[in-house]
Each structure stands twice: as structure tokens, then as C-alpha cells.
Structure 1
Amino acid sequence: MVKPKPDDFPRITPYLYYEDVGAACDWLIKAFGFSERFRMPGPDGKLSHAELGFADDGVIMLGNPGPDYHAPTATHSQLYVYVDDVDAHFTRAQEAGAKIIEEPADQFYGDRRYVAEDPERQQWSFATRVREVSNEEMAKAQGT
């Protein structure tokens, strides 16, 4: 019997648009440590769809919706990704040429996080949980 969700996918899988899917895949693998799962060329021979894995359970899909698509000129969203060592991950991203928006810093909600932008202006937050914080502590830190 066919399962409603493939075993190797989480329930929610981001699908990101890129003008150059192949270049985006290569860059995300080099800079952020993703691994290649699948690449599919379109009728024109250019890569039209790809799937990348991250750590033991992360998956993103990449695609190009067509010739009229252009990379965003403003940030509309951000992916939040947990890594084992955010400072080491930051160094890797920086060495690969990621545009750093925010350097690693401890956050009031218990994560140490940095923010980077890829070559097509998708924004990525990478974080490591460094302390447990209750909802009450977070509200107090926010002044609410």
C-alpha cells in the first residue's frame, strides 16, 4: 500500500525557487553543508528540480518555475536550520563567500544563531540550542 508521505521526507518540505538551480545546489552544498539527493533536468537540459538533504532529517527542494522567474530583490522569508556547531558552520559559510547578515550571537530564546544570504538572496538562519528557556522567560525577555 502506498503511504501518504514518503519515508524519507519530513511532513513539511520547503520548495525554493532559483534562477540557476544547478548553481544554487552546488553553492548550498559547499557553503552550508547540504548533500545531494536528486537532480532532474528539464526538457531544455537545464536543471529544473533538485532535492538536497541536511543532517539526518532535513530536506529542501529547489526548482525554477520558468523563464519569467527572477531572484527576489527583497527578503520575503527565511529558513531556520539547526546545526550541531553554529560557530563552525558560520566559518564554513563565511569561507564559501556567504553574505553574512548577522554574526553568531546568543539569543534570548536559547539559541546561538547567525543569518546569511545565498547568491540568489534567499535568507538562512543557522542555530544551535545553547540553553533551555521557558515561554515565560522568553516573554519576560521581550518585555511582555
Structure 2
Amino acid sequence: MAAKTDRSDININRSMPPGKIIPELVYDDLDQAVVWLCQAFGFKERLHFRNHRCQLVLGEASFIAKANPTLTESSNNNRLQPQPNQMDHSVLVRIEDVDQHFEQAVKSGASVISPPKDYPYGERQYSVEDIGGHIWTFSQSIADVDLSEWSGVLSDNPEDAF
């Protein structure tokens, strides 16, 4: 039996990255993608497993970069990597400094979808496409804005959401 974390609803497993929700994104060239994601977005490599997956972390956020299953012999999954300009998902990551992060991403060759912009809900965000065609939005909290100021509606039991 795995040990419990300080949050009793999650067991510890050193082979898993932190977090309850861990996106898995597919790349044609996994090694190239890992190097690029670390350089462009500041991720750190946590665990690289053979030639088909790598866990990356940024602060408390994590995700798994996977080799395109059509390129690995052991996979029977026929899903393909998304193509540029064909959005089927996106990943939002909270960071401390959107402007500095944006500069590094652009310098590394990220394709800009929307430059840094302040939003009425208290976030400064930008969105880019990575070298694998995945859409990333990076967000910095700049104000704690009352939900009613931007038409937000909190659920009846917000404490149940965390």
C-alpha cells in the first residue's frame, strides 16, 4: 500500500508527478520537445522513461510529454498529434511573471496566439502554440477581483471544489 500525502486523499507514488490532474501531450519528437519546453517555458525534467514519455514540472504544475504513439512499436493507440491551427485542447499554467515568461517563449520560437493582456477577472495572460502544435496559456494573478465585477458566478458549495 502506498503512503499517504499530507492531503489524505492522494497516495504517494514517487513515479508520478505532483497533482491530481496531469495532462499528457503527444509530440512527434519527444526528445526535441522536452528540450524546447524546458528552454521556452521553464519546465524542468523530472523523469524520463525510455523513449516514450517524460514528466515535466514547473513549480507545483506538471504534465507528461509522450512520444507519438504511431511512432512507437508498443502502442496500439492510433490517436494523432494535433496539427497546427487545429485546436482540440489547451493547457493553462499559472506563473509569477507573464511578461518575462512571454519574452522567453517567443525567443525560443513559440508561435504567438495572443500576447500578454490584462483581463477583467484579475489575470494577465498570453497564449502560444508550442513546437508540437499544443496551445498553452500562461496566467499571472494581478488582482483579486470580486466575481460580480466580471459576471462570475460561484457555485453554491465552493469549498467542495477544492
Tell me the TM-score normalized by structure 1: 0.85
Q: 1:71 aligned to 2:75?
A: no
What is the one-letter code of the residue matched to 2:45? E
1:6 has 2:12 as partner: yes
Please name the residue that 2:47 is paired with: 38
Question: What aligned pairs does 1:26-65 form with structure 2 within 5 A after superposition?
Answer: 26-41=35-50, 47-55=51-59, 57-64=60-67, 65=69
Segment of structure 1 superposing worse, 86-95 or 131-140: 131-140
TM-score of the superposition, structure 2-length normalised?
0.77
Structure 2 gaps, min length 5:
4-9, 72-77, 153-162
1:58-113 deviation per Cα after TM superposition (whole angstroms, max 9, x unaligned): 11111122335542121111111111100000011011111011000101111000
Question: What displacement does 1:5 show?
Answer: 3.1
**Residue type of the partner of 2:2?**
V
CA contact (8 A) 1:75 1:123 kept: yes
**Residue deviations 1:107-134, cap 9 Å, x none?**
1111000001001110000011011112
Cα contact 1:39–1:50 (8 A) shared by 2:
yes
Give the number of the structure whose residues are more often strand, by fraction. Answer: 1
- Which has the larger displacement, 63-72 or 77-86? 63-72
Q: Does 1:126 align with 2:135?
A: no
Offset of 1:136 from its aligned partner? 1.0
Query: Higher relative contact order at CA 8 Å, sep ≥6: structure 1 or structure 2?
Result: 1
**Which stretch has the larger CA shift, 16-25 or 31-40?**
16-25
Q: Which residue of 2 aligns with 1:137?
A: 149
CA distance in 2, matches of 1:10, 1:124: 18
Q: Which deviates more, 109-118 or 61-70?
A: 61-70
CA RMSD of aligned residues (A): 1.7
Distance 1:85 1:71 in 2: 30
Report what 2:157 is aligned to: none
Paired with 2:25 and 2:124, the residues of 1 have a C-alpha distance of 25
Runs of 4+ in 1 over 2 A off after TM superposition: 3-8, 64-71
Q: Aligned AA for 2:58?
A: F
Report percent identity of matched pairs: 30
